[in-house]
Amino acid sequence: MDENTLVYVIAAVVIGGVMLPFILRMKQQERNAEIATIEAKEAGLDEPATMHPVVDPERCISTGSCIDVCPEGDVLVLKNGQATPIQPACCIGHGLCERACPVDAIQLVFGTAKRGVDLPRIKQNFETNVPGLYIVGELAGMGLIRNAFEQGKQVVDGILKEGSRSREAGAADLLVIGCGPAGLATSLFAMENGLGLKTIEREDIGGTVRLFPRKKLVMTHPLFVPGYGRLTGPEIQKERLMDLWGEIVHKAGLKVNTQEGANSVVPRDGGFDVLTPLGQYRAKRVIIAIGRRGTPRRLGVPGEELPKVLYNLSEAEAFTNDHIMIVGGGDSAIEAAIALAEQPGNRVTISYRQDKFARIKPANRDRITAAIDKGAVEVLWNTTLQEITPTEVRYRDRSGTDTVVRNDAAFIFAGGELPTAFLKSCGVQIDTKFGAPR
């Protein structure tokens, strides 16, 4: 072997030693991506419910940075050398993937070409088509507590730049409707900047987060809270967060009119009149932060008005030795079933109209499967609730056969109605987004 040949052989060995592990790793990554794609399709997670990432294949350079920053798991994977959404139903709109992409190949959009999402019409500064009226938080299409605080800061910063002060005696500079995460954040940032503020909340501080099941993880990332400081911790459960909200409100000196919701928001010269069951307020600007759920969707079955029929679970410990029927197959229904099954003596049954759970988080799928396997929860597939009585419920299977069973409590998780009537009464236009950017 001459010297040149030896050099080529050595170079080939070195290059092969470097490249072979990379090639093998890429092949394994592709196999894992194929398996994850099949599992996502079987679980119904391949169809987005609302916001989700769309990747431009012409721009993607396969850095994998979008995958590394996603806290929700396998929303995106590298497939055929491209970032590919395989579980868009798990996306909760934090936007980290979009911001991490070095070539702007990812865009978060609402809905798909086939499935539209109804959203109020808002601009980049969160102002609606009604000048001076803003919408932030889940109702604007962005869930997640961290998003809520980012939006609260952005909307207040924008208002300050536009000229925020009211010149009318007795009128607030800003009135915030709702004191869930988005409303609380907006109110705190407004206070920090010296705005004349009024905050009202239909129920209590925390909004719909208070209605989540006990011990539900509600925050996994640190954030800065005006008037309080940095909120940290590896993960925060609902109960701890509610205690923190109380501490934050007290320390910041924020005054919230709880148990007072808005009946109407009426534009007028120089601002708005906001009417509530307890009175009327005037403000130069109004921010709506009431959450997307609005009114729980009802089934329209006889007996649904009974006191034992509930649409959320906040205290699972209040139910013991009960026969419980849960209607629905989404994450809220699954989490409630698991929490109730953990209480002594409960017999928990889920009535679901399909033959498998669709679009639930992988962790919830694992937990409910384990609960079913050990007999803690029974699932009545392909059934619909027909009637509720004080002591029983009647359900119907796909063949049309009715069955009556004992029942002490019924939980209905059929989603919520967007507060369209209220928004339209305020003059806000509602658009249906079919794969449109946020």
> Strand, coil or helix: what is 14?
helix
Average pLDDT score over the chain: 84
pLDDT of amino acid 320: 96
SS3 content of the chain, % helix, strand, coil (to 5): 30, 30, 40
Lowest-pLDDT range, 70-84, 152-166, 246-260, 356-370?
70-84
Q: Higher-confidence residue: 396 or 112?
A: 396
> Strand, coil or helix: what is 85?
strand
pTM here is 0.67
Find the mean pLDDT for residues 170-178: 94
Q: Higher-confidence residue: 38 or 2?
A: 38
Assigned CATH class of 131-207+249-294+419-437: alpha beta
Find the mean pLDDT for residues 327-340: 93
- In one letter, which amino acid is 47? E
Residues in contact with 77: Cβ distance below 8 Å, sequence separation at least 6, in sequence order = 29, 32, 33, 36, 37, 67, 83, 84, 86
Domains 131-207+249-294+419-437 and 296-417 in one fold: yes
Lowest-pLDDT range, 18-22, 174-178, 262-266?
18-22
Assigned CATH class of 3-110: alpha beta
CA atoms within 13 A on the CB side of 248: 28
Indicate the pLDDT class of residue 232, thresholds 50, 70 and 90.
Answer: low
CA distance 203 to 205: 7
pLDDT of amino acid 336: 93
pLDDT of amino acid 256: 94
pLDDT of amino acid 11: 61
Q: Higher-confidence residue: 173 or 58?
A: 173
pLDDT of amino acid 20: 63
Domain boundaries, the chain: 3-110, 131-207+249-294+419-437, 296-417
Most confident of 22-26, 290-294, 328-332: 328-332
Indicate the pLDDT class of residue 350, thresholds 50, 70 and 90.
Answer: very high
Indicate the pLDDT class of residue 24, thresholds 50, 70 and 90.
Answer: low
pLDDT of amino acid 88: 81
| Buried residues in 376-397 as b, exposed as e (16+ CB within 10 A) | bbebbeebebbebeeeebbbbe
pLDDT tens track for 276-316: 999 999 999 999 998 766 568 889 999 999 999 999 887 88
- In one letter, which amino acid is 146? R
pLDDT for 253 beyond 80? yes
pLDDT for 63 beyond 80? yes
pLDDT for 418 beyond 70? yes
Most confident of 105-114, 126-135, 413-422: 126-135
The CATH code belonging to domain 296-417 is: 3.50.50.60
pLDDT for 403 beyond 80? yes
